[in-house]
Amino acid sequence: MTDHVTVIPPTGVVPARFRPPTGSSDARTASLDGPWRFRLHPTARTGADPKDPGDDWDTIAVPGHWQLAQAPDAWPYGTPAYSNKLFPFPIDPPFVPDDNPTGEYRRIVELPEDWPTGGRTYLRFEGVDSWFEVAVNGTVVATSHGSRLPTEIDLTDVLQPGQNLLAVRVTQWSAFSYVEDQDQWWLSGIFRSVTLEHRPDAGLGHVGITADYHHTTGTGTIRVDVEDAAPGTRVTVAELGLDLAPGETATAAVDPWSAERPRLYEVVVQAPGERVVLQAGFRTVAIVDGVFLVNGAPVKLRGVNRHEFDPLRGRSVGAELMEQDVLLMKRHHINAVRTSHYPPHPHFLDLCDRHGLYVIDENDLETHGFEQEDGRWPGNPVDDPAWEDVLVDRVTRMVRRDAHHPSIILWSLGNEAGGGCNIAAMSAAVRALDPTRPIHYEGDWSSDHVDVYSRMYATSEHTELIGRGVDPALARPEADARRRLMPFLQCEYAHAMGNGPGGLSDYDDLFDRYPRLMGGFIWEWIDHGLSRRDAEGREFAAYGGDFGELFHDGTFVADGLVLPDRTPSPSLLEVAAVFAPVRLDVVDGGDALLVRNRYAFRDTAHLTFEWTLSHGSSVLATGTLDLGVLAPGASVRVTPPADLPLPPADHTPTFWTLRAVQHAADALDASWFAGGPWVVATGQLAVVPAVALADVAAGGARQEADGSYVVGPARFDEVGNLVTLHGRRVAELRVDAWRAPTDNDRRSGMWVGPSDEAVWKERGLHLLAERKISAALDADGALVVEARTAGPRTRNGFRTTYVWSSGADGSVDLRVRIVPDGRWTGSIARLGLLLTLDEAAASDVAVSWLGLGPDESYADSAKAAVGGAWSHTVRDLQTRYTHPQENGARRGVTHAALDFADGSTLTLDAGPTVYGGVPRAGVELSLRPWSDRALDLAAHPHELTPDGRLYVHVDAAQHGLGSAACGPGVLPNAVLNPAPAELTLRLTSRGL
Ligand code: GAL
């Protein structure tokens, strides 16, 4: 008997065949999507009779996961559960727990009256998680698995005229759960479409397209293979005037396909019984001298890992959302997708062909839970011959389904499945099916069965060694020699969990520098936060544990560049700037911009280079630079025109900003261009730096009879605490060195040593309190306050001198010097001042500033930030990361104005800022309507409520972001080590 723990390939099914785009074949199909009868049972022994039509059962929508049938409101069929790599059940293959939720599905199937006679009728499942058994009219006809792979069953001989009862039994757990241990929610059921497909006599079974491009001649060669082709079958490519027999080869002058120019040719395959219209893209993937080439040109993959995810529907993703993903990627200069870690819905690949994305199509295979601490993988199915047929079947189904897509440039055998005999078997199977594409599998550490050398989360240092070809050798010389001739790919890097990744551009620079480095794929595209409501009906994005699971991996499922609702997180804007196909980078010590054309195939004829000279919010001049047309790979240095108008030399910096703009789109760009013109790249020079705050005041303070102090609009108590500022109550002004830890701060870089969060806690930074040591007027009449700020249990702290003077026009000037005191080791989160003001409507305070913006930036994630005049409300300065954490810092701020609801304005001008003896441009500014402690404690953004105060951080510097959530921590170039800091601020008020 075959059941859900029998390790054999699907039974009663027909061999996998190519999946042409929906509607591209004229053979009849009938959708079986819609309401089905459904009953969930606690075990696989449901006792349900396949003859029972389930008339009194519930109904459920197919496609969908049963756990999400009524999301976000109710969970009648169990809840989703998230675990990363650890199996949520004992490792006891092929067995799974008796507690095994099992869905019984029923549907009456009646062939439409005009269903063609003759031919065969197939039942097709595009994806069912995890194991299922299909019965028709009470008789079991097939069993299948491979959750993200298609299953086709020939029902011709079992369908009766009129009504037929289709019964599908789906188990949540099966032997195959052991090979589908991907880092994602466990979600079950018939989650992709179900169709009846007519297979006409003399139709088209399996079709393969080989369409190569020869860059030296500008020609393409096409061959269309049709398995068991019926006599009379023809292949035509009208645009090329080709009319061929199946298997016949023809060569013609063509435009090649690439992700930059996704040129497709319509290929009509006409058999006597069926006509299919396919899209062919001519392109050749090759590895020459260790360099990855597409159409003869070196191509860098600037990619993302994409799981299929919809916050309401889980992995049941609709066509619109798929297209939204693809277009968002294109608009942010992502050129490649790894379909982590399973074949996507086939329509996604049609979209990649059409819009232009390079794809690594990955097999539905991960066995990560077998990995032991000591690096062994006992019992791993990948190294067990008993699993060979199952694993080879999986990879075969993927390649046969997808091989006609030009977007696929590599096959991947799976993810994190260890090594073993079945890797070799799968690799051989793929080579036999498709010799045109290289093979990828990161888990093959010695690269014996693959064509590209792949790692995940390699540090930039190690990546550079590989780029230079001086990385440590493999033990086996012949394997080492072979691997050194392979290009290197980071199949995962720059872990985008929460606020991050930092350091993306460090990697990208290496990809540009070393021909052997073929790029990489950021982990990952989207936060998998599932929509649910709290007790008050507020919808939020849930992560591991939010469904009451006792065994889970918490927030680790929220690690994408876009939030679950596809709102780009600031990291996606950083990606767009770093990945930009044309880069405008500051060189020559800030005197010039280097314009680099990084397209592999396009020149810059479609771009105009437009500049603006701006001084604060005023534009002083604009113009266009004629750079000529830059060929792929070409670069040119540019400087601002000599005759620029001279701006006033004052406290406001003057920027010359150059933008590469695409104004019009041709047919091949049209898909992502909507809403254009598009700024493809931005570069900026500070042509006239801000001059220091003029005339910092000295003096003007006085002491009142009660011992308190007054400095212009600022009032202090007798020990030197600021109590009101321009009449507004100040809850606190003190030194701060902590931030609400990011997901990256919470983990240790490369899994070694303590996390930044732990280091900061150890130093008491999360509980800093300030003791005023003395307050006195100095000889100039300034109020000088000495203070020490420290946390519990440590001798370390900060010694601070505040010098308050009353400035011009009723302002108050503050000079601060903060000096680390004690024996500090390790980083600190920030160093600067925290000013907490009473403000009932803090979220609505409008903030306008001169500095980097408009979005947040950090020391190691600042390529997208541009100097200028920006404004936001405090509410909009917050980034609602799925898991709340430090966010929203604006760097390089020289001036900020806060407009309060009562009509008053508080302005802040920053004078010279120095950190560790090095001058910095402006300050780092963050404003929140809640404290950092509340931000740290909140589990979800909707739990954060304004507390009646406005928290203003004015920092000399802040620690970078890094990628420690999975990978390297903050690189030395962005680590904030404790050092003396100096700030000069002028606070001015109007309207109070
Ligand atoms: C990798 C794995 C991914 C994901 C990532 C961490 O090791 O391949 O699936 O788990 O780590 O988010």
Q: Is the dihedral of CA 976, 977, 978, 983 positive or negative?
A: negative
CA 713 to ligand 1 center in whole angstroms: 54
Q: Which of 104, 492, 524, 924 is catalytic?
A: 492
734-770+821-990: which CATH topology?
Beta-galactosidase; Chain A, domain 5 (2.70.98)
pLDDT score of 307: 98
Q: Computed over its alpha carbons, how large is the radius of gyration of the chain? A: 31
> For the domain 296-577, what is the CATH code?
3.20.20.80
Least Cα distance to 440 among 390, 508, 487 occurs for: 487
Structure tokens at 812: 């108050």
Q: What is the 3-state secondary structure (H, E, C) of 564-613?
A: CCCCECHHHHHHHHHHCCEEEEEEHHHCEEEEEECCCCCCCCCCEEEEEE
Residues 440 and 491 sit within 8 Å (Cβ to Cβ): yes
Probe target for ligand 1 pocket from 83, 180, 183, with the most ligand atoms within 8 Å of CB = 183
Domain boundaries, the chain: 29-199, 207-285, 296-577, 580-688, 734-770+821-990
Q: Which residues line ligand 1 (CB under 6 A)?
A: 84, 183, 341, 415-416, 456, 492, 495, 523, 556, 559, 966
Backbone angles phi, psi at 814, to 5 degrees: -130, 125
Structure tokens at 637: 């240095």
248 is catalytic: no
CA quadruple 377, 381, 385, 391: dihedral, nearest 10? -140
What atom of ligand 1 comes closest to residue 497's alpha carbon?
12
Q: Atom 11 in ligand 1: which residue has the minimum CA distance?
A: 966
Q: Which of 416, 524, 886, 924 is catalytic?
A: 416
Least Cα distance to 267 among 208, 199, 217 occurs for: 208
β-strand pairing of 453-456 with 913-915 = unpaired
CA 541 to ligand 1 center in whole angstroms: 20
What atom of ligand 1 comes closest to residue 415's alpha carbon?
8
| Angle in degrees, CA 637, 641, 646, rounded to 5 | 135
Task: Give the span between the Cα atoms of 134 and 751, in whole angstroms.
Answer: 45
End-to-end Cα spacing for the chain: 84
Residue 455: strand, helix, or coil: strand
CA 397 to ligand 1 center in whole angstroms: 24
Q: Atom 4 in ligand 1: which residue has the minimum CA distance?
A: 183
Probe target for ligand 1 pocket from 86, 490, 492, with the most ligand atoms within 8 Å of CB = 492
Task: Give the span between the Cα atoms of 531 and 260, in whole angstroms.
Answer: 35
Structure tokens at 847: 């903030």
CA 342 to ligand 1 center in whole angstroms: 13
Amino acid letter, residue 918: V
Q: Atom 6 in ligand 1: which residue has the minimum CA distance?
A: 966
DSSP class of residue 56 equals T
CA 85 to ligand 1 center in whole angstroms: 8
DSSP class of residue 310 equals B
CA 370 to ligand 1 center in whole angstroms: 15
Task: Give the span between the Cα atoms of 562 and 522, in whole angstroms.
Answer: 12
Map tokens 């013609």 to a residue.
252
Which residues, in sequence order, are CB contacts of 144 under 8 Å at separation 6+? 10, 11, 13, 125, 128, 131, 132, 134, 151, 153
Residues 804 and 711 sit within 8 Å (Cβ to Cβ): yes
DSSP class of residue 233 equals -
Sheet holding 635-638, edge to edge: 582-587, 592-597, 635-638
**Cα 504 from chain centroid (whole Å):** 12
Q: Which stretches of the chain drop beneath a pLDDT of 50?
A: none
Probe target for ligand 1 pocket from 342, 371, 416, with the most ligand atoms within 8 Å of CB = 416
Residues 315 and 65 sit within 8 Å (Cβ to Cβ): yes
416 is catalytic: yes
> For the domain 580-688, what is the CATH code?
2.60.40.10
Q: Is the dihedral of CA 840, 843, 847, 851 positive or negative?
A: positive
Residues 541 and 322 sit within 8 Å (Cβ to Cβ): no
Q: Atom 3 in ligand 1: which residue has the minimum CA distance?
A: 183
Angle between helices 504-513 and 460-468 (to 10 degrees): 0
Task: Give the span between the Cα atoms of 532 and 537, in whole angstroms.
Answer: 9
What atom of ligand 1 comes closest to residue 340's alpha carbon?
9
Task: Give the span between the Cα atoms of 244 and 248, in whole angstroms.
Answer: 6
Residue 859: strand, helix, or coil: coil
Equal fold, 207-285 vs 580-688: yes
- Segments in 217-356 forming alpha helices (H): 319-331, 346-355
Q: Atom 10 in ligand 1: which residue has the minimum CA distance?
A: 183
Least Cα distance to 886 among 916, 856, 855, 864 occurs for: 856
Residues 20 and 276 sit within 8 Å (Cβ to Cβ): yes
Probe target for ligand 1 pocket from 84, 304, 307, with the most ligand atoms within 8 Å of CB = 84
What atom of ligand 1 comes closest to residue 416's alpha carbon?
8
Residues 751 and 738 sit within 8 Å (Cβ to Cβ): no
pLDDT score of 302: 98
**Cα 105 from chain centroid (whole Å):** 35
Least Cα distance to 892 among 927, 919, 932 occurs for: 919
Backbone angles phi, psi at 507, to 5 degrees: -65, -45
Residues 885 and 741 sit within 8 Å (Cβ to Cβ): yes
Task: Give the span between the Cα atoms of 893 and 921, in whole angstroms.
Answer: 7
Q: Atom 9 in ligand 1: which residue has the minimum CA distance?
A: 183
CA 779 to ligand 1 center in whole angstroms: 62
* Segment (H or E) for 714: strand 714-716
CA 473 to ligand 1 center in whole angstroms: 26
Got the DSSP string for 661-706?
EE----TTTHHHHTT--EEEEEEEEEEEPPPPPSS-----EEE-TT
Structure tokens at 360: 């690594």
Task: Give the span between the Cα atoms of 144 and 11, in whole angstroms.
Answer: 6
pLDDT score of 690: 72
pLDDT score of 694: 66
What atom of ligand 1 comes closest to residue 491's alpha carbon?
8
Which residues, in sequence order, are CB contacts of 169 under 8 Å at separation 6+? 44, 46, 48, 50, 102, 103, 104, 105, 132, 133, 135
29-199: which CATH topology?
Jelly Rolls (2.60.120)
Least Cα distance to 205 among 120, 135, 125 occurs for: 120
Least Cα distance to 530 among 55, 877, 940, 246 occurs for: 940
pLDDT score of 992: 59
CA 660 to ligand 1 center in whole angstroms: 35
Residue 486's alpha-carbon distances to 331, 407, 439, 454, in angstroms, are: 31, 21, 11, 9
CA 334 to ligand 1 center in whole angstroms: 20
What atom of ligand 1 comes closest to residue 85's alpha carbon?
10
Residue 81: strand, helix, or coil: strand
pLDDT score of 698: 81
What atom of ligand 1 comes closest to residue 442's alpha carbon?
8
As to burial, measured by CB atoms within 10 angstroms (0-12 exposed, 13-18 middle, 19+ buried), residue 81 is: buried
What atom of ligand 1 comes closest to residue 182's alpha carbon?
9
Residues 60 and 35 sit within 8 Å (Cβ to Cβ): yes
β-strand pairing of 890-893 with 592-597 = unpaired
CATH 3.90.650.10 fits 207-285, yes or no: no
Task: Give the span between the Cα atoms of 548 and 554, in whole angstroms.
Answer: 11
